[in-house]
Every structure is written in structure tokens, then in C-alpha cells.
């Protein structure tokens, strides 16, 4: 699978935070890169709806630490949920 195919697949999934924390499947999603910007890896992306990506309760709205504190999750959780979703959806 090429990188573009992988990103497309991730973007076909529901928001992993809505799915695992709120029990709903929210679409559409944006591919969010996990990890520090200096260590960015295009294969390490997770599906987040606009609100959880760029909105007030999102990783960019709250900044990483605020997001992790609010939702009690980290990048490893998001990647694990994405891997789980890949096998289910």
C-alpha cells in the first residue's frame, strides 16, 4: 500500500476519539499527524473530526498537553484506536 492509499484509508475511518470516547461514528475526518513536529512521520496519522483536530476541544485548539489532559489519552492511544478501526471498518 502506498502512502497516499494509507492516508486515504485513514480518512475513510470515523473519528477515533468520537468512536472510542463518545461511542459515535463521526465523519468526515482529517488525518492528524501524531508526535512532535520535528519527528513527523507521514505513516503515523490518526482520523480526527474537525472538532477534535482543530476545534476548541481538539488537539490544535487545546494544544497537545491540554488535549491529552482533557481526554486522558496520548498519541499511543490514538494510534492503537486507529489500528483497531482499520480492522473493523
Whether residue 39 has pLDDT greater than 90: no
**What pLDDT does residue 61 have?**
96
Fold (topology level) of 3-88: Herpes Virus-1 (3.30.40)
Give the pLDDT of residue 18: 98
Q: Is the pLDDT of residue 48 over 80?
A: yes
Task: Check if the beta carbon of residue 68 is closer than 8 Å to that of residue 74.
Answer: yes
Residues 43 and 57: their CA atoms lie apart, in Å, by: 24
19-28, 29-38, 59-68: range with lowest mean pLDDT: 29-38
Amino acid at each position: 500500500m502506498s502512502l497516499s492509499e494509507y492516508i486515504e484509508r485513514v480518512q475513510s475511518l470515523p473519528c477515533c476519539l468520537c468512536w472510542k470516547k463518545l461511542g459515535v461514528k463521526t465523519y468526515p475526518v482529517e488525518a492528524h499527524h501524531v508526535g512532535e513536529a520535528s519527528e513527523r512521520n507521514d505513516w503515523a496519522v490518526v482520523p480526527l473530526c474537525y472538532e477534535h483536530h482543530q476545534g476548541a476541544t481538539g488537539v490544535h485548539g487545546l494544544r497537545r498537553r491540554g488535549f491529552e489532559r482533557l481526554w486522558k489519552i496520548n498519541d499511543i492511544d490514538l494510534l492503537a484506536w486507529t489500528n483497531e478501526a482499520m480492522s473493523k471498518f
